[in-house]
Amino acid sequence: MRKYKVIDVSEAQLEDLVRRAPELIEEGLRFVDHQALTGSGRLDVLLVDSGGALVVAELKVGEDDGMLGQGIDYYDYVVRSLDGLAQAYGQHGIDPKQEPRLFLVAPSFSVTLLNRIKWVNLRISLFTFQCIQFEDAIDEIVAVYKEIAAPTLPPRPVVHRLDDRYDYITDAGMRAMAQRLVAQMKEWGHERVVAEATKYDISVKVSGRVFAYVSPRRKHFVLYTNDAEGKWISYPINSQADLEAVVPLIRTYFDRITAGRIM
């Protein structure tokens, strides 16, 4: 096995390593240009991936929080110049219909930079690197890259609203009937009864236990409650008469819960 050591390199050396062997970063990457002049300075390296998308590579040989802003500036230039770049570098098979990508390449990234990336809506890939030099050939330097996951924002909790559930019912009369029913059920237990919107329904609980569901449809709604055998049964409500026939069943189940007869 050949002996080697990890060495530091200059930014110019790193740029040269990327230019000569971009496929070590990602399979299928090809070199297009380097130090291309933009309105914000000189772009380190411009590459094209295996799908024909341009790749802006911003390189640093140390942690540098400013590289994100620089990369975005160069990315902006590339996006605005896609058609012209595709023509100017026609031999590289650039597809101007493909969304460009942004690569940040550095030995490490600070917590600050990683936190900022969460708020940037771009295709950003992060690569750390080490450069190794073989003892039997000091002129032979190889960069070893490792992609790390770019952080993303945690999913925001989805808040469902009662008004959204009611508004799903397009028939105004049926919508008002559903609202009156929920208000009526809340009166049975006053503060102990709570109506909550779920993804598709309205659950009505007493002391934390569901005793009815109101499930909106476009022209009517469906009520769910337990029958005498403890099974959930659905009752389509298309009229006031339908509702009046079901409310006593819901009240019976409610009374059984509040009386402690259901465990």
Helical ranges in 101-171 per DSSP H: 111-117, 162-167
> Residue 51: which CATH number?
3.40.1350.10
Over residues 182-196, the pLDDT tens digits come to 999 999 988 899 999
What's the total number of domains in the chain? 2
- 18 is a domain residue: yes
Computed over its alpha carbons, how large is the radius of gyration of the chain?
Answer: 32
Last residue of a domain, one of 125, 148, 171: 148
Q: Which amino acid is at 185?
A: M
User: Are residues 144 and 186 both part of a single domain?
Assistant: no
Last residue of a domain, one of 118, 148, 178: 148
- 206 is a domain residue: yes
Asked if 196 and 205 touch (Cβ cutoff 8 Å), the reply is yes
- Nearest Cα to 167, choosing from 217, 222, 239, 203? 217
- 38 is a domain residue: yes
- Per the DSSP assignment, residues forming a β-bridge with 142 are 132
Over residues 233-254, the pLDDT tens digits come to 999 999 999 999 999 999 999 9
Residue with tokens 């994100």: 68
**Residue 95 structural domain:** 4-148
Over residues 22-76, the pLDDT tens digits come to 999 999 999 999 998 888 889 999 999 999 999 999 999 999 999 999 999 999 9
Tokens (6 digits) for 29: 């990457």
Say if strands 124-134 and 101-106 run parallel, antiparallel, or are unpaired: parallel
pLDDT value for 263: 52
Q: What are the C-alpha distances in Å from 164 to residues 69, 127, 205, 212, 228?
A: 40, 44, 19, 18, 32
User: Are residues 123 and 194 both part of a single domain?
Assistant: no
Say if strands 221-226 and 209-216 run parallel, antiparallel, or are unpaired: antiparallel
Last residue of a domain, one of 117, 148, 179: 148
- 196 is a domain residue: yes
- Give CA–CA dist 32/25, Å, rounded: 15
User: Are residues 113 and 176 both part of a single domain?
Assistant: no
pLDDT value for 100: 95
User: Are residues 142 and 206 both part of a single domain?
Assistant: no
